[in-house]
Structure 1
Amino acid sequence: MSDAARLVMLGSAGLAEGFSLIGAEVHADADPARVEAVLADLWASGDAALVLLEAHLARSEGEWLRRLRNEGGRIVVTELPPLAAPDNYAPVVDEVVQAVLGPEALRCQT
């Protein structure tokens, strides 16, 4: 187990390239199986990590993804908008906010 937290990014090659420039550990063109393998390895390593998943991967249904999101703690998993369609992106948390606060909760008030 190291003292420094790891920054890990899984997603399309174009998006991964940018993260590699800032020193992130990248897994370009990853699929849900790769996400599961990386998350299992992180858990086994004991390292703290911030894991950034492109939206289509963040919404996959893997066992490790579900487990680490429910556990919280030293491995934080978050979602990134897709590189090709950032304007059409809506994070999963929007659904939770609307379910709790109602459909008007996320509308802009001008």
Structure 2
Amino acid sequence: MDSVHPLGDPTRLLFLGEECLADGFRLIGFETYPNPALRDVDQLLRELQRSQTKAFVVVDDAVMAQDIPQLQRVLREGGRIVVIAIPALNAPPKLASEVANRLAALFGAATLQASSTGER
């Protein structure tokens, strides 16, 4: 017996951040919002939540560091909208998550910095 499993609504792929990063994300199929105003980020995330849309949202560190109410709400609640942050092109990689913060508190920030560069 064949059963049909509907795929449902597709997950939207979005990038919000620096224009130089937006070009690369656009090439791989993301909706891009280069250099977005903070209120535009807030409004877009509010609309995603209101419409119950599944989304994978990539923001640059500059956007993540801003006090954007809807972004903070999405990060707290989780669910259909997944948000990750990426560093600027010329910035060294850094671990910035709740897990990284807890590890830094336990083992010291220098431990995480050394391991992220491959040094011991």
Between the aligned residues of both structures, percent identity stands at 31
- Kept in 2: contact 1:79–1:91 (CA 8 A): no
Question: Offset of 1:31 from its aligned partner?
Answer: 2.6
Gap regions ≥5 residues in structure 1: none
- Aligned equivalent of 1:17: 23
Mapping 1:24-35, distance limit 5 Å: 24-35=30-41
2:5 is aligned to none
Output the amino acid matched with 1:14.
C
Q: Residue in 1 aligned with 2:3?
A: none
Instruction: Give per-residue Cα distances to partners, 1:84-109, cap 9 Å, x unaligned.
Output: x232x42322334312x220541336
Larger radius of gyration: 2
- Structure 1 position 86 matched with structure 2 position 101: no
Superposition RMSD in Å: 1.7
CA distance in 1, matches of 2:91, 2:107: 24
Shift of 1:27: 0.3
Q: Establish whether residue 37 from structure 1 lines up as the match of residue 43 from structure 2.
A: yes
Q: TM-score, normalised by structure 1?
A: 0.85
SS of 2:41 mapped into structure 1: helix
Native 8 Å contact 1:31 1:57 kept in 2? no
Count, aligned residues: 106
Gaps of 5+ in 2: 1-7
How far the C-alpha of 1:67 sits from its partner, in A, is 0.6
The TM-score with structure 2 as length reference comes to 0.78
Once the two structures are TM-superposed, the CA of residue 68 in structure 1 deviates from its matched residue by 0.5
